[in-house]
Amino acid sequence: MDAREPARYLVTGGTGGIGAAVCADVAARGCTPLVGYHRQAEVALALAKQLGGEAVRIDMTDASSISAACTTMAAHPAGLAGVVLAASPPPTLGPFGTISASDMTRQWAVNVLGPQQLLAELVRLCFRPRKRGSVVGVLTSAMGQGIGTAAGNMGAYLIAKHGLAGVLAAAAADYPWLHVRAVSPSFTETPMLDAFDARYLDLQRARQPFDTPAQVAAQIVAQLIAPPVTPPVAPPVG
């Protein structure tokens, strides 16, 4: 990695509400955001230009697209300092018994299989050569704190987010030097809320104001660009 270059951070789902806010926060801290996108090329290019970053096409359901993007990022003189796993389809609402195979496959591909393949390639090409890297996965508070505490009617989405938590746990276990963290936002004012009934959202807002994308982004970037851990200084002897 070229120390003269600003640190570079990939954000999957970089054109989404939270992803775009993360890119803006990364840029505000003097680093270079890599705006990961699948279909919204014009949006990604415009955001990258505005923030002094780069747009990176990466289809989280396509192993060849993931591999090509990782190879390109690894070839840059500055390498890659970290990644935010923010890409996710919106939830399909409905009871557990109505979860469709297509919805489960779509959620699993973007939230679990794609991130596992991406992290494996990034570790091999970008992080392991210098034994350093930062990973933040975007989960959801709807997962709850254990069995019986999750929100209802978001089955495939919640199952996939638990799978993403497993990907993060496995990566952290196998690579102790890798800085792996997760953030679990609550309701956030993004277009993903379009999946919910407006009256339900109004009731939830009346109980507690929703977070803004910038608020969630600040939490994510605080974990992403964390200060290096230094060993404690031993007290003087005698």
Over residues 132-156, the pLDDT tens digits come to 999 999 999 999 998 999 999 999 9
Mean pLDDT for all residues in the chain:
93
CA separation for the pair 26, 41 (Å, rounded): 20
Closest CA to 114 of 102, 106, 104, 126: 106
For the entire predicted model, the pTM comes to: 0.92
In Å, what is the CA distance from 178 to each residue of 75, 81, 161, 234? Answer: 20, 11, 21, 25
β-partners of residue 11 are 35, 84
Supply the CATH classification number for the domain 8-224.
3.40.50.720
Buried-exposed string 170-191: b where 16+ CB fall within 10 A, e elsewhere: ebeeebeebbbbbbbbebbbbe
Share of the chain above pLDDT 90, in %: 89
Q: Where are the domains of the chain?
A: 8-224
Statement: residue 227 has pLDDT above 70? no
Dump pLDDT digits (tens) for 58-74: 999 999 999 999 999 99
CA separation for the pair 71, 53 (Å, rounded): 18
Torsion 123-127-130-133 (CA) sign = negative
| pLDDT given for residue 133 in this prediction | 97
Dump pLDDT digits (tens) for 168-182: 999 999 999 999 999
**Mean pLDDT within 117-130:** 97
For residue 113, the Cα-to-chain-centroid distance in whole angstroms is 14
